[in-house]
């Protein structure tokens, strides 16, 4: 990379080039003081030993729910402090009160029940514990426990922005399909999708009223629709992957109707993240015209840590304007640190297809989408986040 291109594309407060400290002019700064931030996060963190111990004690009947909550509160306060110490402007609760990134939220919706199927979800070389959901009543959002979870997060966030993470509505349909939805309650799937979108409208409104101004919808579906193997499985169960993308885009957009202007909503597209393994592979091109061209979120969090994600060309479908692409170039699956210069080169490459001003940086996923967590240490986790912050300061 030439020195001129570095200064043109990667302005920041300080830049080290061949051992020389460069200080660009203030007018070149492209830092953001609103979410998504140049250095952002997906949300989940490795569960501390104290959380794991308390959850086991609770399951065994050794402590009650209030004692478990006290431990969770303490550990969430600590993980928030660590995020701020790492230099992040955004904090989450690490999803410390959850076993799963999605099922815990879904089971809190009206009309949804959790159950244990015959087997878990198959990842590459490993399978999760058995858990799933089914729709047994009319879907709605009322007294959801995660509202209080967010209120506590906001109370300890200090001057950082508290981000809430919940699964995307499309995930609820995709995971079980028609078979997981009561035909008595919903003989017509159009009514199901309408109620699902309305429930999410209610959820978005409720989190906003609780003080949330940064909400993330986690979504594996769009990456699965880029995978030939996953599309084959979709067809085998009786669904049409070619029409699902438009259906899910419509549901998301209806869910976002009436969203307050000062609420930022991001969509994280995940290829699977369980014990450092994955499910799907394939670039975003098959879904890009609908996902990037139609879905009205404020930011797309996109996995770009391996070749399985394909190239940056699909980013051309994101229109110039306020929408941001938060590119996950730092992997959360292994502890080895990326080389900053290589990451800067990839940011430069991405800026060929979308304005640099519309780009941000994050890990490609959370560090513990389930309570088991990925195969790296907590120290490595924090090194990764500090790296995101450092590179973002150099790149913008």
pLDDT tens per residue across span 345-369: 999 999 999 999 999 999 989 898 7
pLDDT at 302: 97
In this structure, the number of other CB atoms found within 10 A of the CB of residue 105 comes to 24
Q: Is the pLDDT of residue 111 over 50?
A: yes
pLDDT tens sequence across 271-316: 755 445 545 566 899 999 999 999 999 999 999 987 777 899 999 9
Identify the pLDDT of residue 371: 74
Asked whether the CA dihedral 225, 231, 235, 236 is positive or negative, the reply is negative
pTM: 0.88
Please state the rounded mean pLDDT for residues 326-343: 94
How would you classify the pairing of strands 15-17 and 126-127? Answer: unpaired
Q: Are residues 267 and 380 in the same domain?
A: yes
Q: What percent of the chain has pLDDT over 70?
A: 86
Residues 155 and 179 occupy one common structural domain: yes
One domain for residues 44 and 151: yes
Look at residue 24 and tell me whether its pLDDT is greater than 60. Answer: no
Residues 92 and 121 in one domain: yes
Partnered with residue 267 across adjacent β-strands are: 217, 300
Q: How many other CB atoms sit within 10 Å of the CB of residue 394? A: 21
Residue 145: CB atoms within 10 A of its CB come to 11
| Residue 312 confidence (pLDDT) | 97
Task: Give the CATH number, domain containing residue 101.
Answer: 3.20.20.210
Q: Are 111 and 23 found together in one domain?
A: no
Per-residue confidence (pLDDT) for residue 125, from 0 to 100: 57
125-179 residue pLDDT tens: 554 554 788 999 999 999 899 999 999 999 999 999 999 999 999 998 887 788 8
CA dihedral 298, 384, 344, 315 (to 10 degrees): -30
Examine the domain organization and report whether 289 and 337 are in the same domain: yes
For residues 215-234, average pLDDT:
85
Q: How high is the pLDDT of residue 118?
A: 60
Q: What is the percent of the chain with per-residue pLDDT over 90, rounded to a whole number?
A: 66
Give yes or no: residues 99 and 237 share one domain: yes
Determine the pLDDT at residue 110. 97
62, pLDDT greater than 50: yes
Q: Where does the pLDDT of residue 228 fall: very low under 50, low under 70, confident under 90, or very high at 90 and above?
A: confident
Report residue 150 CA to chain centroid gap.
16
Assess whether 321 and 348 both reside in one domain. yes
Q: What is the pLDDT of residue 328?
A: 96
State whether 11 and 85 are in the same domain: no
Q: Distance between CA atoms of 365 and 192, rounded to whole angstroms?
A: 29
347 neighbors 311 (Cβ within 8 angstroms): no
Q: Indicate if 24 and 45 belong to the same structural domain.
A: no
What pLDDT, in 10s, does the model give residues 89-110? 999 999 999 977 788 999 999 9
Q: How many domains does the chain have?
A: 2
Are 281 and 294 contained in the same domain?
yes
Cα separation, 128 vs 373, in Å, equals 12
Those residues with Cβ within 8 angstroms of residue 188's Cβ, 6 or more apart along the chain or in another chain: none
Q: Write down the pLDDT at residue 6.
A: 40
Per-residue pLDDT band for 318 (boundaries 50, 70, 90) equals very high
* Residue-range definition of the domain harbouring residue 69: 31-395
Report the distance separating Cα 133 and Cα 104, nearest Å: 10
| Shared-domain flag, residues 5 and 84 | no
């Amino acid at each position: 990379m030439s020195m001129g291109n570095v200064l043109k594309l990667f302005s920041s407060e300080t830049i080290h080039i061949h051992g020389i400290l460069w200080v660009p002019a203030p007018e070149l700064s492209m830092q953001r003081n609103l979410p998504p931030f140049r250095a952002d996060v997906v949300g989940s963190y490795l569960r501390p030993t104290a959380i794991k111990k308390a959850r086991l004690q609770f399951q065994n009947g050794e402590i009650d729910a209030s004692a478990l909550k006290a431990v969770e509160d303490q550990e969430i306060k600590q993980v928030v402090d660590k995020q701020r110490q790492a230099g992040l402007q955004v904090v989450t609760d690490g999803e410390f009160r959850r076993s799963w990134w999605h099922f815990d939220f879904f089971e809190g919706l009206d009309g949804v029940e959790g159950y244990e199927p015959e087997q878990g979800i198959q990842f590459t070389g490993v399978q999760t514990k058995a858990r799933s959901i089914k729709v047994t009543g009319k879907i709605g959002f009322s007294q959801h426990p995660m509202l209080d979870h967010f209120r506590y997060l906001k109370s300890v966030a200090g001057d950082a922005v508290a981000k809430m993470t919940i699964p995307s509505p499309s995930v609820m349909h995709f995971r079980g399909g028609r078979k997981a939805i009561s035909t008595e309650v919903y003989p017509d799937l159009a009514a199901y999708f309408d109620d699902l979108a309305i429930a999410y409208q209610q959820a978005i409104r409720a989190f906003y009223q609780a003080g949330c101004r940064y909400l993330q919808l986690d979504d594996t579906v769009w990456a699965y629709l880029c995978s030939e193997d996953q599309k084959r499985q979709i067809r085998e169960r009786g669904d049409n992957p070619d029409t699902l993308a438009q259906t899910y885009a419509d549901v998301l957009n209806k869910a976002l109707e009436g969203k307050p202007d000062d609420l930022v909503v991001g969509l994280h597209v995940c290829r699977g993240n369980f014990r450092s393994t994955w499910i799907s592979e394939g670039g975003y091109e098959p879904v890009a015209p609908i996902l990037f061209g139609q879905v009205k979120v404020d930011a797309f969090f996109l996995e770009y840590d391996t070749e399985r994600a394909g190239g940056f060309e699909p980013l051309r479908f994101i229109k110039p304007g306020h929408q941001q692409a938060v590119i996950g170039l730092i992997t959360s699956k292994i502890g080895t640190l990326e080389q900053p210069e290589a990451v800067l080169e990839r940011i430069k490459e991405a800026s060929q297809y979308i304005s640099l001003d519309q780009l941000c940086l994050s890990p490609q996923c959370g560090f513990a989408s389930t309570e088991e967590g990925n195969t790296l240490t907590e120290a490595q986790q924090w090194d990764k986040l500090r790296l995101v912050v450092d590179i973002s300061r150099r790149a913008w």
